Amino acid sequence: MSQSKLITYGIIVFVALIAILTFSNATFLTIEAGERGVLFQRFGGGLDKENIYNPGFHVIAPWNIMYVYDIREKQIDEDMTVLSSNGLNIKVDVTVRANPDYNNIGDLHEKFGPQYVESLVRPEVRSSVREIIGQFSPEELYSTKRNEVQSLIQENLKENLGSNYIELRATLIRNIELPDKVRSAIETKIEAEQQALKYEYILQQERKEAERKIIEAEAKAESNRILSASLTDKILQDKGIEATLQLANSQNSKVIVVGGEGGNGLPLILGGN
């Protein structure tokens, strides 16, 4: 009887252990907000890429594995030294913001796994930055082409990461640092160009002022020519008569000789008080 009881107790303990394992914490899983899960079914076909588990409470068999991914936007900072188009070393600080494609967590897990940032995103960022920076000279990177470089890196990364189930949100160039001698030479050149533009502007203003004076002088000369041509004796006599009439209406006493000097017909004012 004791042996029979022992066997019975053994069976009970075994069943109890199975029950505990079946309903242990390993079978209950909560996926938090901002996360998604993909299930690996050990005895049921492997990785289930078609069903993505949303936030909430889930029950899984203890022999299956749920891989939980944080799908929140991540910030990846890269400080690099790359070559410009003429072979100079350029230090570039780049920030990328990206997150996994919500609906393709299974494909991302199968291809890159949970360490996708290190195995996918960072290598793609480095490759893209080197490729784009290598197309520009230090002067362009320092002065005029920074925004263009940033846009080109963004477009290149968006295509490469997008094909690997990563959504790119933004690409930012935080800093571009040139060698001191190169930066000093570029600054000197830019200052000289600005000074030359300033002098050119002054010369243009002087030319315009000279042209204005010439046009003004020509206009005055033409006006005088037209006025001289229009002042006939008849007009002068009429003007003299108008002046005589105005003097006649004045309160002051005066002596006016009609006819004037030299027989030109104009009034001559001899005196008044």
Residue 252, pLDDT > 90, answer no
Residue of 103, 85, 181 whose CA lies nearest to 141: 85
The answer to whether 99 touches 169, Cβ cutoff 8 Å, is yes
What residue type is assigned to position 94 of the chain?
A: V
What pLDDT band is residue 231 in, cutting at 50, 70 and 90? low
Pairing of strands 28-31, 56-59: antiparallel
Residue 216: CB atoms within 10 Å: 10
Query: Residue 88 pLDDT more than 90?
Result: no
Which pLDDT does position 193 carry in this prediction?
A: 62
Q: Of 26-35, 184-193, 237-246, 249-258, where does mean pLDDT reach its minimum?
A: 249-258
- Cα torsion angle, 196, 201, 204, 206, sign: negative
**Are 89 and 181 contacting, i.e. CB atoms less than 8 angstroms apart?**
no
What does the mean pLDDT of the chain come to?
79
74-178: CATH topology: Tetrahydropterin Synthase; Chain A (3.30.479)
pTM, 2 dp: 0.59
Q: Band of the pLDDT at 265, cuts 50, 70, 90? A: low
Task: Residue 122: name the closest of 84, 166, 152 by CA.
Answer: 166
Sheet with 74-83, side-by-side order of all strands:
74-83, 89-100, 166-177
pLDDT at 201 over 80: no
pLDDT of residue 14: 75
Domains of the chain by residue range: 2-70, 74-178, 180-230, 233-272
Between 110 and 184, the more confident residue is 110
Residue 210 has pLDDT above 90, yes or no: no
Range of weakest confidence among 13-27, 50-64, 163-177: 13-27
